[in-house]
Structure 1
Amino acid sequence: MRKQKPVKDSFVNMTELVLPNDTNTLNNLMGGRMMHLMDIAAAISAQKHSNRIVVTASVDNVSFSSGIRLGNVVTLQAQVTRSFSSSMEVHINVWAEDIPTGTKIKSNEAFFTFVAVDQSGRPIDVPEAVAETEEEIKLYDGALRRRQLRLVLGGRMKPEEATELKAIFELE
């Protein structure tokens, strides 16, 4: 039996200030810089869960719902949603705050997948994730569907093998 670990133990709260070097010519945070910050926060979360070196395996649809402006404070919140044998799904939310005006908006959300590896770079088992709150359970329950969808889209699983996705693919 795998060791168990509460998902709350993987929570990461990271804060950055958007500086001129982080922005494009419209004074918005560059998308690549945002992805960089998201990858760091999510990797730290996966490391906290696994107590191992982790590598990014995939990034799901990163949507940019609102621009983040020069001078905004960016807060990234990441937490493991579920673990499999050596992989972990991490959910991340990004908030942008304009401190002088007191406005705060949700700017980005995504799911990242990480694989824990040993010193030689080989995948290694991770603890089972234990969801406790209503939100954690909701994300945990959806993680298998999201994983199967990633595997099907990546060509690593046949649609008919994706037991959680049969309704989406309307398989016989």
Structure 2
Amino acid sequence: MPTVTDTYLLNRERVQPDDTNNYDSAHGGNVMKWMDEVGAMSAMRHAGKTCVTAHVARLDFDRPIPRGETCVVEAYAYAAGRTSVRVRIRAYREDPTTGERELTTQSYFVFVAVDKSMRPTEVPEIAVETDRDRELREEALADEPSR
């Protein structure tokens, strides 16, 4: 049975000129796409199957990510239903020269595991075995928006 920590992923995207809006910062649609991709990989790591986006519970853009900086996306599965996996996803702006990081965007996505015919398929329960698992899960549940 996969643990919360087993699903923890961190990915980086350099914000290039083609990724920006009129204000020379990452276009919100690009940030959401990067978050969706990493979130799906986290859900698939838990489910062991292809997962598709079913619901975005909240998507808050608190700060911009300027061109030339790095968008760091963090995702982990913290709960599972019969066919669904709930994933907390946060994006940060990171200075590529110093590593200084600031939270910019956060969300909660629900992914559904599907079989080869794109029909929902069952996923395992998520295990909480270590202190890190407990910390991540409790943090996600405490901040999770009501659906």
- Common fold by TM > 0.5: yes
Q: So what's the TM-score if we normalise by structure 1?
A: 0.77
Q: How many residues align?
A: 144
1:82-137 alpha-carbon deviations (Å, 9 max, x no partner): 10100000001111112346532111111100000110111111010012333234
Alpha-carbon RMSD across the aligned residues, in angstroms, is 1.9
The partner residue of 1:62 within 59, 70, 75 is 59
In structure 1, the partner of 2:106 is 109
Task: Report matched runs for 1:83-98 at 5 Å.
Answer: 83-98=80-95
Q: 1:101 to 1:10 in 2, by over 3 A?
A: closer
Find the structure with the greater CA-based Rg: 1
Q: Give how far 1:25 is off.
A: 1.4
Q: Percent identity?
A: 32
The partner residue of 1:79 within 70, 73, 76 is 76
Q: Which stretches in structure 2 are left out of the alignment for 5+ residues?
A: none
In structure 1, the partner of 2:136 is 136
Structure showing greater relative contact order (alpha-carbon pairs closer than 8 Å, 6 or more residues apart): 2
Contact 2:72 2:93 (C-alpha < 8 Å) held by counterparts: yes
Contact 2:88 2:140 (C-alpha < 8 Å) held by counterparts: no
1:125-156 alpha-carbon deviations (Å, 9 max, x no partner): 1010012333234146559x85xx42xxxxxx
Q: So what's the TM-score if we normalise by structure 2?
A: 0.89
Using the alignment, how far apart are the partners of 1:141 and 1:99 within structure 2? 31
Q: Which stretches in structure 1 are left out of the alignment for 5+ residues?
A: 151-172
**Greater helix share, 1 or 2?**
1
Residues 99-108 or 134-143, more deviating: 134-143
